[in-house]
Chains A and B, each alone.
Chain A
């Protein structure tokens, strides 16, 4: 069964009762901020009967390793790993998903310390897709219930978060299939965004992105329920890695001085780059020391950072004496990238 309904709400409707008039060039040039918001109302996705097979990822001998993607679901929290699916509303009209075309100076980004700052350059038009926002002060609810260490609150309420699951079967060798079964509980991605704009000096598409993932728990089970050694609750628990109170803030790019650059080389390989923000201007000219110091100071103060935190990671029961393991608290905090260039190549 699959039910999906999407309700779009035009934010431009604020001007609904005004008679429509043509804008002349001067008026048009003053337009900034135009877009629409939408919420996902009563959404439930249950693809338990569907299988998608990904081919042409090979092994070292060049043989195909089929990857079967199955048992996908998305629904309201409390689904018991998809066994009890109910529709969920994601976002609401005062905190919707948004697709916006806006001036760079009108966009704001939330720093880890709860301050809103501008990260995109001024006087450019930015195409932004963003999730419901995070909130500062007393508004909203903790992004992970009962775990304030995840930082500023999310606008999505507890009832507007989702359970999500998916299973991958890797047929890695004859008679051997590796299973990865993922189940997110109370997943929310508030504060995530993708911003794109054209960079004239560089002559290319650039952007900045932030992917926030908050989950009360993420479970990775390495067997297919109902198969050998994977039938009882104890057997399934023993084959499950559990991440509790886990979140990731993945930040790529700081539009003011270090936009994220995408490119594809002439031989078809992708290139992803975060350039050094200080040494040279986008047109290639060198910068004096004082200017470099000022840019670096702004970069470290305001560029969003990447954090990955797992409050508790355990295998099985978490008790070593019963075959499990407790890896405890694990984190990468305050990651700032001064320079990154990733180039793919054939294996």
Chain B
């Protein structure tokens, strides 16, 4: 019987070798009774419901903290041509198209600054027993989002705030004179809200390729205006029209903004808390067959989304509790764009 035993020994050795190698050096340590008594069922998933305007919502919440740094060649949602739902759009365009999309950044020494996410969720919207929408969202998100944005459908508040120096650099002599009359100098701090627009300056949340000031919108004075409230009044005479204030461009291709901060990067995250300090709350991507009002996970307000694919990047609260636009750029960044940060290990910086 030796041959049979030999084969059995061989097989047993192989199985044991596999099991030993697969289990490595993990060491089992028994729990004391008092430790064991503290063990309870872990609940990292729950379901919550909501209703509004005849739509029922069911949200599956995942208790997770995620740190990541990733790249993708292409993120594309809603590429279809339909003259009824998407009138006037370019044939072959998409509701959302971002090439070389990335979350998080890579530092010079190839260490990683991750994009942080807490409490992701999946939510369905029902009209009766018919699904009319689905969204994937992050309870909290903080980090750098990069990409070559080709088209975007959604809600992305942008605050442009900073020194007026870049505006003076762009302005003609006459326009500098007018700004001077308004009490604006190079050191004056101005601000403007920007959003998704078309090339004519009209708000355009569907398949937008530009962000900027909408028609009728004016620059506001933050500080350093020599005429005080009168400066604001004078600035209000220079409303943006057709993507221009005077001859200054006020709309910019989305593809210029290649790395965008999500959340307040100036606030350090504390490792001692599950929450992400300075995070933008309520980031989501949704798809719906009709306009749907989804619940804002920060302030419980309703966010109206348009039919089709939709990306929502809401305002977040700063350290003082004020609502702040998730994308904060200065005038220099608005005029010249935001360069891409390194999102690749090794020699590449993008497209890896």
Contacts and interface: CB of A to CB of B under 8 A. Distances in A.
Nearest to A18: B3
A277 B68 contact: no
Contacts of B111: 276, 279
A345 B63 CA distance: 5
Contact of B6 (A23, A56, A228): A23
Interface string A134-176: 0000000000000000000000000000000000001011001
Interface stretch (A68-76, A81-89, A184-192, A324-332): A324-332
A313 to B, nearest CB: 8
Contact of B61 (A300, A325, A332, A347): A347
Interface stretch (A41-49, A208-216, A333-341): A333-341
Interface residues of B, number: 84
B111 to A, nearest CB: 5
Given A343-B65, A346-B63, A22 B6 contact: yes
B289 A345 contact: no
B127 to A, nearest CB: 10
Which bracket fits the contact residues of A? 35 or more
Given A279-B111, A330-B77, A297 B84 contact: no
Given A59-B46, A343-B64, A327 B78 contact: yes
Interface stretch (B20-28, B186-194, B314-322): B20-28
Most buried by A among B75, B110, B132, B344: B110
Given A57-B46, A346-B42, A276 B112 contact: yes
A330 B14 contact: no
A148 B20 CA distance: 43
Contacts of A229: 128-129
Contact of A60 (B48, B78, B309, B347): B48
Nearest to B68: A340
A50 interface: no
A28 B82 CA distance: 66
A344 B3 contact: no
A330 B79 CA distance: 7
A127 B20 CA distance: 11
A320 B82 contact: yes
Contacts of A202: 24
Interface string B97-110: 00000001010011
Given A19-B3, A59-B48, A333 B131 contact: no
A335 B43 contact: no
A260 interface: no
Interface string A27-63: 0100100100000000000000000000011111000
B131 to A, nearest CB: 4
B154 to A, nearest CB: 15
Interface string A210-241: 00000000001011000111100000001101
A269 B80 contact: no
A65 interface: yes
B80 A329 contact: yes
Given A178-B126, A299-B345, A327-B80, A340 B22 contact: no
B4 A320 contact: no
Interface in B39-53: 39, 41-49
A210 B81 CA distance: 34
Contacts of A299: 345-346
A19 B96 CA distance: 65
Contacts of B84: 320-321
A71 B66 CA distance: 34
Given A204-B24, A327-B309, A292 B18 contact: no
Contacts of B62: 344
Given A199-B24, A230-B129, A345-B65, A339 B114 contact: yes
A7 interface: no
Contacts of B4: 20
Contacts of B78: 327-328, 330
A204 B68 CA distance: 22
A341 B346 contact: no
Nearest to B116: A341
Contacts of B110: 276, 278-279, 292, 296
Contact of A56 (B3, B13, B41, B289): B41
Contacts of B65: 342-343, 345
B266 interface: no
Contacts of A176: 49, 56
B72 interface: yes
B136 to A, nearest CB: 12
Interface string A195-209: 011111011110000
Contacts of A339: 67-70, 104, 112, 114
Contact of B47 (A19, A170, A332): A170
Contact of A23 (B10, B25, B106): B10
A21 B307 contact: no
9 contacts: A20-B7, A57-B47, A179-B129, A222-B126, A268-B39, A297-B346, A335-B71, A335-B73, A338-B71
Interface of B: 2-7, 9-10, 13-14, 17-18, 20-26, 39, 41-49, 56, 58, 61-82, 84-85, 94, 104, 106, 109-112, 114, 119, 124, 126, 128-132, 274, 287, 289-290, 307-309, 344-348, 352
Given A327-B78, A344-B64, 12 more contacts: A31-B14, A57-B46, A58-B46, A222-B129, A279-B110, A296-B110, A325-B307, A328-B78, A329-B76, A336-B71, A338-B104, A344-B42
Lowest 5 CB-CB distances: which A-B pairs, in order?
A296-B346, A328-B80, A22-B6, A334-B73, A198-B24
